Amino acid sequence: MARIIGGIGTSHVPTIGVAYDKGKQSDPAWAPLFDGYKPVAAWLAKQKPDVLVFFYNDHATSFFFDLYPTFALGIGERFEVADEGAGKRPLPPLKGHLELGIHIAESLVNDEFDIATFQDKAIDHGCAAPLPLLWPHEPDWPGAIVPLAINVLQYPLPTAARCYKLGQAVRRAVLSYPEDLKVVIVGTGGLSHQIHGERAGFNNEEWDREFLDLFVRDPARLARLTHADYVRLGGAESVEQIMWLAMRGALEGPIRTLHQTYYLATTTAMTVALYEPESIPASQPAASVEAVL
Amino acid sequence: MNPQIAGVEDLVGTYVFDLRTSHRALKLNRFLWSMIQATSREGFVADEDAFMTAAGLSEAEKTLLRARDWLGLIQHGASFFVLEKFARVAKKTNLEIYAIMRGETFDEFMATRRVPECR
């Protein structure tokens, strides 16, 4: 049976992809960010998960507002990386896990979670910005993804509580997959940032810290917050942190933090965190929690 | 009124992109979205006015686009996530657009940032 061996929370700031493609990994302004991903990449290299289930959002790239799905699961063996206006990125197409994707779709719908599905659509920076920092891609990606897009752009958005429940339903789906696969759940977005209007540039580090703390200890409290709460506390676009709650729902129960990096450089509090369910033995001491301020 | 966003109207400088806005500004947002296609970028650069007319934009929308009025476009109903695709064609970085929306010069804005070199 498939197993969930961990969870990753990560920002998906498009500039991370730009800096990556320009080779700024050692640039002093960028190194704290890239170095922060190294322990997570090392953990993935050691654990060798077969699949990353990615809760991400499409930034009105492959879906436009004329038909914008609340939840949409990607079905396929490969997904192109999207051109978002600046041309194609030098990344190989992402590998999809066709059978697990189909199984999750069937399980979710039969579980009364009536998602949309998509095929043959490109994946944008919601997934592709952080992925190369987590997994090597030369000559090719070491595993497959199952992308699950969540509407965090056009209100009404799914509530934080609904995203948490989606994660729980994805957990049931993964655990009922007959093949012995190792699965890691990824939730993307945030942390605090606002990138439109005169309030652009808003951050709230105190709230970010509280979010990261509650995320581990008391996610139910985060699930009770309204979108307006997220917008007020973390800035308008930080509402996308409800995608972290989907990942938290899929981990269910107590979790331990194996790694955490927080780097607020310009406009988005760029964060990466690695979690393991308490129900499985620790793969390493929880020692590398760090804060880069 | 969507109870999930009750109170957001009190946050100055924040514009909710909901179905009302989306419906009102659908053509503008579709135009901005089209910039993910190389052919659209080339078409716009070759003849801005003809391309905007073909997209069915209103005179007010064309004026905002000609002026590269980033804040005005948001206030009119543009989603930032398609606006940033147009920004690539207009050769502006997101950081430059944030500064403009705040009413600051780029240097003023970057001086408020913790690691201004991170760009």
Taking an 8 Å cut-off on Cβ atoms, the answer to whether B94 and A14 are in contact is: yes
CA B2, CA B20: separation in Å to the nearest integer?
A: 11
Is B5 an interface residue toward A (CB < 8 Å)?
yes
Helix (H, G, I), strand (E, B) or coil at B108: helix
CA A126, CA A156: separation in Å to the nearest integer?
A: 19
The pLDDT value recorded for residue A292 is: 40
CA B96, CA B28: separation in Å to the nearest integer?
A: 21
What is the CATH class of B16-110? mainly alpha
Torsion of CA A94, A99, A105, A107, to 10 degrees: -140
Taking an 8 Å cut-off on Cβ atoms, the answer to whether A227 and B4 are in contact is: yes
Q: Residue A269's CB: how many other CB atoms inside 10 A?
A: 26
Average pLDDT over residues A121-139: 96
Is A188 an interface residue toward B (CB < 8 Å)?
no
CATH architecture for segment(s) A3-277? 3-Layer(aba) Sandwich (3.40)
Mean pLDDT, chain B, rounded, equals 97
The full length of chain A comes to 293
How near does any CA of chain B get to the CA of A99, in Å? 30
Percent of residues, chain A, with pLDDT higher than 90:
94
A to B CB pairs, distance under 8 Å: 145
Comparing C-alpha atoms, which of A176, A210, A201 is closest to residue A2?
A176
CA A35, CA A31: separation in Å to the nearest integer?
A: 6
The first and second tokens of residue A190, run together, are 């945030």
The pLDDT value recorded for residue A284 is: 77
Task: Check: CB of residue A275 under 8 Å from CB of residue A256.
Answer: yes
A85 pLDDT band (50/70/90 cuts)? confident
Please give the model's pTM, rounded to 2 decimal places.
0.96
Q: What ipTM describes this predicted complex? A: 0.97
Average pLDDT over residues A85-110: 96
Comparing C-alpha atoms, which of B99, B79, B76, B81 is closest to residue B36?
B81
Taking an 8 Å cut-off on Cβ atoms, the answer to whether B74 and A226 are in contact is: no
Comparing C-alpha atoms, which of A182, A165, A164 is closest to residue A174?
A182
Comparing C-alpha atoms, which of A159, A149, A168 is closest to residue A239?
A159
Average pLDDT over residues B74-97: 97
Residue A20: its H or E element? helix A14-21
The pLDDT value recorded for residue A290 is: 52
Task: Check: CB of residue A273 under 8 Å from CB of residue A212.
Answer: yes
Taking an 8 Å cut-off on Cβ atoms, the answer to whether B82 and A227 are in contact is: no
Is B16 an interface residue toward A (CB < 8 Å)?
yes
How near does any CA of chain B get to the CA of A279, in Å? 34
Distances (CA, A) of A210 to A29, A103, A170, A272, B63: 25, 36, 26, 15, 44
Task: Check: CB of residue A24 under 8 Å from CB of residue A286.
Answer: no
